[in-house]
Amino acid sequence: MAPIARAAAARPAIDHRLVATGQHRELFDDMAAAFGLTVDRNLALGETGQTIEALERRIAAALPALADELRPDMILVQGDTTSAWGSALAAHRLGMAVGHVEAGLRSHDLALPFPEERNRVEIDAVSTLLFAPTTAARANLEAEPAVTGRIHVTGNTGIDALLWMRGMAAGHRLHDGGRRLVLVTCHRRENIGAGIAGICEALRRLARRPDVRIVLPLHPNPSVRAGIREALAGIANIELLDPLDYPTMVRMMDGAHLILSDSGGLQEEAPALGVPLLVLRDNSERPEALATGNIALVGTDPDRIVAAATRLLDNPAAYAAMAVPAYPYGRGDAAERILDAIEDWAATFRPRASQPASGRSPPASQA
C-alpha cells in the first residue's frame, strides 16, 4: 500500500489516512520508514498466538469507532490477509464502500492456500472497486456471480514498491564471499509441520555444496521460526537471520542467484528482477508468473526441491532460460491507475442508504 499512500499525498482531491492493524509491529515500522510514511492510526490488534478468528473479531470491534470518527467514503484493503478480510467485511457491514487492491487472484482451491483463498474470494464479493493486477485476474472476477463491483486492470502495487526501492538501493548489493546466494523464505500456514520439515531437509542437502550460501530470514510467526531453528540451526552454509527491513530484503533478492519461497508476493517480484524462483507450493494463484518461465512449482518434497535447485545451479542453459526479467504485473504505475479509478468513482459518488456507525452521511470530498 506504500505506493498508493505516497501517490495519494500528491493528489489534492484525495484525503487519505493510513491505518495499521498493529501486527508484526517492528516489520511494519521498518517498512513505513523505508517509504517515508507516517501511520495515522495504529489499532494495536496484534497478540502473540491469536487465531485468525480472534483477529477478525477484534477488527470487527475496532473498525466501527474508527469509521465513525473518520467517516471515509471508501476503505482500501490489499491482498488476502486476515487483516484485509476482517477489515473488508467490517466495512461492508457498516455500509462503507470497499476497494480491493490485488483483486481476482485465485488458486481455485479453498484449502490451498488457507485461509488466503477464502479471504480473497470473500473480499472481492463485497468490494465496490476491484483492482485486478492482470487480465487473467479480471477474467476470474467476471466469472464469479457474487462479484458486482467495478473491475479495473491496474498492475500490482507490489511491483511499484519493488522497482522504486530497487532504484533507491542501486549500487548497494550485498557481498556473498564468492559463493552463489540462495535466498529462502517460508511462512505459509499450510506448510507448518510436514511442509517446513521437507523444505528444511532439502536445504540441509543443498548446504553440502561449497558453492552456495543459503540465507533464510525467519518469519515472525513463532510456529514457523521454531521448526526452522530446530532443523537448521548451526548447519554450515545456512544463515538464519532475523526478519530483514524492506531495503535490505530488496538488495538481497536483487543479488540472489536463486530464490526458494512459498511467498505469493515473491512470485511477482522475482520475475521483475530476473531472478529464478522455485515456489515451495503445489499450486499458485499467479498463473501469469508461471507463464513467464521465471518461476516453477516444486512443492515441499525434498527430492523434488533438490533436483530443481541442482539443475539451475549446474546447468547454465537452464538457468539462463529462467533468468530473464518479465513484467506480467506491470512496470510500476499501478498506484496511479488505482487512484485514477478512485477519483473517477468519487466524481459520481452518492452516499449509500446504510450509513457508518453514527448514522451521519460521509462527506463526498473524503476518500
Known catalytic residue at 211: no
Output the CA torsion 122→128→132→138 (10° steps): 80
Cβ–Cβ under 8 Å, residues 325 and 274: yes
Q: Which residue in the list 80, 201, 262, 268 is annotated as catalytic?
A: 80
Burial 257-294 (b: 16+ CB within 10 A, else e): bbbbbbbbbbbbbbbbbebbbbbbbeebbbbbbbebeb
Kindly report the number of other CB atoms within 10 A of residue 87's CB atom: 27
Instruction: Give the CA count within 13 Å in the CB-facing half-sphere of 213.
Output: 15
Apex CA 279: angle with CA 253 and CA 208, to 5°?
75
Secondary structure of residue 330 in the 3-state scheme: coil
For residue 272, what are the CA distances in angstroms to 155, 299, 325, 334?
Answer: 12, 22, 5, 14
User: What is the Rg, in whole angstroms, of the alpha carbon atoms belonging to the chain?
Assistant: 21
Known catalytic residue at 116: yes
The alpha helices in the chain, defined as continuous H runs, are 2-8, 25-34, 52-70, 82-93, 116-126, 135-142, 157-168, 194-206, 222-232, 246-255, 265-273, 287-292, 302-314, 316-322, 334-347
Q: Which residue in the list 56, 73, 92, 116 is annotated as catalytic?
A: 116
Known catalytic residue at 175: no
Cβ–Cβ under 8 Å, residues 100 and 66: no
Tracing cell 516489520 back to the chain, one arrives at 27
Q: How far is the C-alpha of 145 from the C-alpha of 344, rounded, in Å?
A: 24
Cβ–Cβ under 8 Å, residues 96 and 120: no
Q: Which residue in the list 100, 187, 213, 286 is annotated as catalytic?
A: 187
Q: Which residue in the list 92, 120, 138, 219 is annotated as catalytic?
A: 219
Known catalytic residue at 80: yes
Q: Which residue in the list 71, 179, 189, 225 is annotated as catalytic?
A: 189
Known catalytic residue at 100: no
Active-site amino acid positions: 80, 102, 116, 187, 189, 219
